[in-house]
Amino acid sequence: MSGNILEVRDLRVWFPVRKGIFARTVGHVKAVDGVSFDLRRGETLGVVGESGSGKSTIARVIAGLQRPTGGTITINGRVSMVFQDPLGSLNPRMTVRAALDEAVRQTARRDGTKADSPERLLSLVGLDASVLDKYPHEFSGGQRQRICTARAIASKPNLLICDEAVSALDLSIRATVLDLLAELKEKLSLSMMFITHDLGVVQKIADRIIVMNRGELEEEGPCEKVLAAPSAAYTRYLMDAVPRIGKPLT
């Protein structure tokens, strides 16, 4: 079996630009253009770049939410995803129990075996059974993201994709959610892809990093090496843009 959980080759995602009363295609927006990379088993790969760089589009294609224009994707396992907005990704009319029960039933039907209970899933993300009959609006942002993570791991994934999973959270909550994800990675033997624009976040959680810019891959390598001595001008630009204590804001 391949040592890679994911292999992406020459991935392209182009969106047509249409004009005129006949909506003829006059060009394309190349959201992702010729990107190739691997994600190894047991690894956390950080995918960084500014808004519009193509990083979230890559995540959506891998998760099956967006059709690619070209290229190949080989996934050696199951994929699940945690989204940026936990409130928006939860049904406001469903209790936590209903949301998790739905995910558990789908997993049991797929595998033909008994799936984890909602209580166990909540325990894995640091919540107790007292929240089961509450609704999404009754929780803090950090608690909602834990619930979304519990739902994501209900499908027993091998690869967990986190698309800006902490960017909507307060700074004081981000570290606890990142610690949770790191614990789940070890406990459940997960591989992870972490999509973010925050270099501080990727430095804390990623083993390797790829840097995206306008749909293309600018740089790739071990996280510590890339952040300590970036070879691409764009990576250096991203690092210079990170606010630092004592650094004047312009």
Kindly report, residue by residue over 1-33, the tens digit of the pLDDT. 469 999 999 999 999 888 888 778 888 899 999
- Answer yes or no: are the C-beta atoms of 168 and 119 closer than 8 Å: no
Q: In DSSP terms, which residues pair with 162 in a beta bridge?
A: 82, 194
Please check the confidence at residue 60 and state whether its pLDDT lies above 90: yes
The answer to whether the pTM exceeds 0.85 is: yes
* C-alpha distances in Å from residue 224, one per residue of 37, 106, 201, 236: 18, 39, 13, 14
CA 114, 117, 123, 126 dihedral sign is positive
Q: How high is the pLDDT of residue 243?
A: 58
* Residue closest to 204 by CA, chosen among 237, 232, 174: 174
Residues 61-120: pLDDT tens digits? 999 999 999 999 999 999 999 988 878 888 899 999 999 998 888 888 887 777 789 999
| Six-digit token string for 177 | 């959610």
Span 122-144, mean pLDDT?
92
Q: How high is the pLDDT of residue 2?
A: 65
Beta-carbon neighbour count of residue 162 at 10 Å? 29
Cα–Cα distance, 246 to 113 (Å, whole number): 56
